[in-house]
Amino acid sequence: MMELDDWIERQALLSAELMERAISATELRRERAVLGQIVVPARGSVLASPTIADWDPEPDYFFHWVRDSAIVMRTIAGLVADAQSGAECRRRMRHFHDFVAFSLALTRLDGRDCPSLQEKAQPEFRKYLRPEEEMRALAGDAVLGEPRFNPDGSLDALRWSRPQYDGPALRALACLQFLADGGEADGGIQELLRGDLDFTVRHAGAACIGPWEEADENAHHYYVALVQLGALVHGRAFATARDAESQLRAQLDRHWSGEVYAAIWPFRGVGGEDIVDAACLLGVLDADLPDGPHSAGDPRVWQTLAALEALFVHEFPINRGRRAPALGRSRHDRYFGGGAWYVTTLAAASLCYRRGRRLRDADLIARGDAFRTTVRDFTPADGHLAEQIDRATGALASARDLTWSYAAFVSAARLRRACLR
């Protein structure tokens, strides 16, 4: 146990450092020559990955994703409370206030002011650009439904899966976490928070693209509805939305199949293994409802986790003989080979810690540690985390230095530390 304790604390420190490198990375410069585009990150932006790649074969994640950035900044809010010095606290507070200012600027973007890339782009790459009329129509709620932006604060002109309605809810949860941890409720944070909560009410339960951003999944997503509900529940002091909360709870209940919570409704499959998806775990974790259905205290959540464990023990050779399996996304996932993800495996650990702490249940805490041991086994000696772990070889796959992976590790370490106090 002491060896695991020491490793977790070392890796948590490194993960926090690597996560912060993706925030306000103004020293970086990204040139997309085929599009005639040069991007220099602005203060307050959060790179999904600072690694520069062109799908060769690593993906190009040099973007400010609204979802990823909100999860990262919620982690930063927790680290503000943990700061060991005044300088460390001030640095992280500055990160958060810069993020708020950057995010507010994004909400005010208007596609009519966006310069066209059609003339700059090489002819063979123009097919990857969004139509001009689509770009010109971006304003107001259409901008708030954008999944990502260039980190210089400009609109993303590339084709992608849109719209996505979880980002503003997650950003609201980040602001609420910041305030709960003692952050100052200045005008910028209040403006961003109220705007994101209002958007969440307007789009509560609406069909959209889900967290895995599959183009053919414009549907009702458990993850999206649950983080929307979490934002409204935790944000009641800033917005009264009882009707929207009731609507979301009714929709979320429809995702219960009788065996597991399904990520998408109507169901796309005939049995538990076809419809179970780790996005449901992420939704429970990120919404952080205090109790009841769809919280860490919901027995159906644990049935869903058990189904995911059984699925990935069977599907992934790397899980043979493990006390806790490395978790992927779903049975049908083939993105970069459809391997295990750090964020999904760490979500299982975090839920065990959250519930174990509340119940003072040593077995649940030990179960969380079993998932952390699996993560340790697939973490390279230099501590750098990717997006995925190859299902057969255990090698790192997809994007390097995924900022979300580092945030997930830091957050899980904080939950574990709280269990052991």
pLDDT by residue (tens digit) across 15-57? 999 999 999 999 999 999 999 999 999 999 999 999 999 999 9
pLDDT tens, residue by residue, 231-274: 999 999 998 899 999 999 999 999 999 999 999 999 987 677 88
- Model's pTM, two decimal places? 0.97
**Average pLDDT score over the chain:** 96
CA distances from 228 to 5, 96, 241, 248, 360 (A): 34, 21, 11, 8, 29
CATH class of 2-420: mainly alpha
Q: How confident is the model at residue 185, as a pLDDT?
A: 83
Q: Does residue 58 register a pLDDT over 90?
A: yes
Q: How confident is the model at residue 268, as a pLDDT?
A: 84
More confident residue, 289 or 118: 289
Tokens coding 299: 């027995």
Nearest to 66 by CA among 241, 240, 208, 267: 208
pLDDT tens, residue by residue, 101-119: 999 999 999 999 988 898 8
Q: How confident is the model at residue 273, as a pLDDT?
A: 87
Average pLDDT on 77-96 reads 93
Q: How confident is the model at residue 239, as a pLDDT?
A: 85
Kindly list the domain boundaries of the chain, sorted by start residue. 2-420
pLDDT tens, residue by residue, 318-337: 999 999 999 999 999 999 99
Say if CB 42 and CB 59 are below 8 A apart: no
Q: How confident is the model at residue 1, as a pLDDT?
A: 53
Q: Does residue 2 register a pLDDT over 80?
A: no
pLDDT tens, residue by residue, 368-421: 999 999 999 999 999 999 999 999 999 999 999 999 999 999 999 999 999 988
Q: Does residue 186 register a pLDDT over 90?
A: no
Say if CB 373 and CB 324 are below 8 A apart: yes
Average pLDDT on 331-346 reads 97
Cα–Cα distance for residue pair 46/328, rounded to 1 Å: 24
Q: How confident is the model at residue 178, as a pLDDT?
A: 96
Cα–Cα distance for residue pair 224/111, rounded to 1 Å: 25
pLDDT tens, residue by residue, 119-178: 899 999 999 999 999 999 999 999 999 999 999 999 999 999 999 999 999 999 999 999
Percent of the chain exceeding pLDDT 90 equals 93
Nearest to 340 by CA among 304, 298, 371, 300: 371
Q: How confident is the model at residue 108, as a pLDDT?
A: 98
Say if CB 346 and CB 283 are below 8 A apart: no
Percent of the chain exceeding pLDDT 70 equals 99
The helix/strand/coil state of 292 is coil
Q: DSSP string of 320-367?
A: TT-SSPPP-SBTT--GGGT-EEHHHHHHHHHHHHHHHHHHT-HHHHHH
Among the residue ranges 81-90, 193-202, 285-294, 375-384, the one predicted with the least confidence is 81-90
